[in-house]
Structure 1
Amino acid sequence: MAIIRCLCVLSLADHVQVACWALHRTLTVGASISIRVLVTPAFVFLHLSSVESV
């Protein structure tokens, strides 16, 4: 019985670890995508304004 309980606890810990990793991965990918989406128009705008000023 104790062995089964140990396995259950271990599998629960593994599930939590995998869930945390997946959440962290999703947040990291989402953050990089949103940063790219926000930064790219700014770079394009700066590039266009610098070209117009020259």
Structure 2
Amino acid sequence: MKFFDWALTNGQQAAEKLDYVTLPAAVLDEVRTQLRSRMKSSSGKAITTQ
């Protein structure tokens, strides 16, 4: 989760430098929401960035 959080935050800047289109804020928010709701540990608990 830490990697995905970093990529969704810092990846925007990297994408821009590489002439890629950055994702709109609404898309980033939805991706974060979906990742948090779907990624679980082996015990079934939600994985957080803390």
For the aligned pair, the TM-score class normalised by the smaller chain equals 0.3 to 0.5
Structure with the larger RCO, 1 or 2 (CA within 8 Å, 6+ apart): 2
- Normalising by structure 2, we get a TM-score of 0.37
- Normalising by structure 1, we get a TM-score of 0.34
